[in-house]
Amino acid sequence: MSKIVILLLLTAILIALFAGLYFLMKEPASSKRTLRSLMVRVGFTFVLITLLLVAAYMGWIAPHAVGK
Amino acid sequence: MTTKHERYYVPAQSYWPIVGAVGLFFIAIGLANLIHVFQPGYDTSLTKSILLLGVGVSVIIFMVSGWFNHVIKENMAGLYSAQMDRSFRQGMIWFIFSEVMFFAAFFGALFYIRMFALPWLGGEGSKPLTLDLLWPNFVAEWPLLNNPDPKYASPNEVIPWHGIPLLNTTLLLTSGATITWAHWALKVGKRLQLNLAMFCTIALGLTFLGFQIYEYSHAYMDLGLTLDSGIYGSTFFMLTGFHGLHVTLGSIMLIVILVRCLRGSFTAENHFAFEATAWYWHFVDVVWLGLFIFVYIL
């Protein structure tokens, strides 16, 4: 379950990132849509890293290098 | 009836591409020599390898800064038009396309090895004979700490995710936040915040690189994890190494952009170079996130 949420968040980050690229290509320089997309990207990334830490701490995922 | 056409600036022939090619040549020779320094049977000098690599990196820095300098001067001289602006955007999109394909190939190699090649070697699915005939004692696991062929020394350990990798992830995520802060400051015309946020982003990027160098030396010196210690080492150094090169390039671009910010070259209406560089930094950050998840954690 955790892995599915991680993959979904990663997909959302990629969509926000490439939406930013699309707006960078298409919108005039005065537009703020690239900035907004990248803000969403940073927000999702923060959520994902927090989730990874919680999941590893709670034992929902087993990071492969722990204890080796 | 006459039609008025937009002026289109055609720059003079540029020598920067050939300078870049020379730099890449020295980097390739320097790196190839450096890899063989610690290999038995090769008479390769460490000093010469580092010197060749240093020459290559210096030429690349010279090329990037010189080329940027030419483009900036052309822009500031008012030689560009709306058509040229579209050309820059086209250039950016093709550059990013090549970068996406580049990393897709390396991530693809990692996924193929983990999901297909290793399980097959371990006899999974319809491949029990592969295990029996090739290396019957092989156990498929990831990270691979027991290479099937004992001719290739296996790593003693791999780098745990919660040390430097987690720290570096935090550094890059923070740099993603600071470049967004700079982006916002540029849009609303807060120059002091823009410069401060750009400086923080560069400092975070360079700190990331410093920790990566430390991690590599620890892997080579203490863990036996090297580029030739089996498929884990190969994929680990290929993926994280090329990402590190991208962070280096991104840092150089950010430094150039910071200098331009300090000079007040950008306005809220004219700042494509800033936005393209900021987007590139976000891209490099997201690639790292993929590496952190698929190389270090899952």
- B181 and B52, same structural domain? no
- B107 and B70, same structural domain? no
Query: Is residue B67 assigned to a domain?
Result: yes
Query: Is residue B53 assigned to a domain?
Result: yes
- B108 and B235, same structural domain? yes
Final residue before a domain boundary, out of B26, B61, B79? B79
Domain with B216 in it? 84-297
- B159 and B61, same structural domain? no
Q: Give the pLDDT confidence score for residue A29 in this predicted structure.
A: 83
Give per-residue pLDDT as tens, A16-64. 999 999 999 998 888 899 999 999 999 999 999 999 999 988 888 887 7
- The torsion region of residue B160 among left (phi > 0), alpha (psi -120 to 50) and beta comes to beta
- B141 and B185, same structural domain? yes
pLDDT at residue A65 tops 70: no
Nearest to B143 among A20, A39, A64 (CB): A64
Q: When comparing pLDDT for B5 and A31, which is higher?
A: A31
Residue of A nearest to B177 (CA): A42
Final residue before a domain boundary, out of B79, B101, B119? B79
C-beta atoms of B162 and A3 within 8 A: no
Nearest to A49 among B169, B268, B282 (CB): B169
Task: Using an 8 Å CB-CB cutoff, list chain B residues near A21.
Answer: 93, 96, 279
Distance CA B245, CA B58 (A): 14
Query: Is residue B7 assigned to a domain?
Result: no
How close B93 comes to chain A (CA, Å)? 8
Task: Using an 8 Å CB-CB cutoff, list chain A residues near B142.
Answer: 64
Query: What does the pLDDT average to over B158-178?
Result: 93
Q: Tell me which of A30, A33, A57 to substitute to probe the interface with B (most B C-beta atoms closer than 10 Å).
A: A30
Query: Is residue B8 assigned to a domain?
Result: no
Task: Using an 8 Å CB-CB cutoff, list chain A residues near B184.
Answer: 35, 39
Radius of gyration of chain A (CA): 16
Neighbours of A36 (CB within 10 A): 16
Q: Give the pLDDT confidence score for residue A67 in this predicted structure.
A: 38
Query: What does the pLDDT average to over B216-228?
Result: 90
How close A61 comes to chain B (CA, Å)? 8
Distance CA B251, CA B231 (A): 30
Do residues B204 and B285 make contact, with C-beta atoms less than 8 angstroms apart?
no
Query: Is residue B25 assigned to a domain?
Result: yes
Task: Using an 8 Å CB-CB cutoff, list chain A residues near B189.
Answer: none
- B101 and B52, same structural domain? no
How many structural domains does chain B have? 2
The CATH number assigned to the domain holding B159 equals 1.20.120.80
pLDDT at residue A68 tops 50: no
Within chain A, residue ranges assigned H as helices are: 2-26, 33-58
Q: Where are the domains of chain A?
A: 2-58
DSSP structural state of residue B140: -
Within chain B, residue ranges assigned H as helices are: 16-37, 46-76, 82-112, 118-121, 128-133, 164-188, 191-218, 231-263, 272-291
Query: Is residue B1 assigned to a domain?
Result: no
Task: Using an 8 Å CB-CB cutoff, list chain A residues near B177.
Answer: 42, 46
For B157-208, what is the HEC assignment?
A: CCCCCCCHHHHHHHHHHHHHHHHHHHHHHHHHCCHHHHHHHHHHHHHHHHHH
Mean pLDDT score of chain B: 90
Place of tokens 């927000």: A43
Distance CA B244, CA B277 (A): 16
Final residue before a domain boundary, out of B35, B62, B79? B79
Tokens found for residue B237: 């150094």
B154-158, B208-212, B253-257: which has the minimum mean pLDDT? B154-158
Do residues B201 and B254 make contact, with C-beta atoms less than 8 angstroms apart?
yes
pLDDT at residue B40 tops 80: no
Give per-residue pLDDT as tens, B124-133. 887 788 888 8
Tokens found for residue B24: 């890449």
pLDDT at residue B227 tops 70: yes
13-52 in A: which are within 8 Å (CB) of B? 13-14, 17, 20-21, 24-25, 29-30, 32, 34-35, 38-39, 41-42, 45-46, 48-49, 52
For CA atoms B98, B217, B282, B79, the dihedral sign is: negative
Place of tokens 């910010």: B261
Identify the band that residue B37 occupies on the pLDDT scale cut at 50, 70 and 90.
confident
Note whether ipTM > 0.90 here. yes
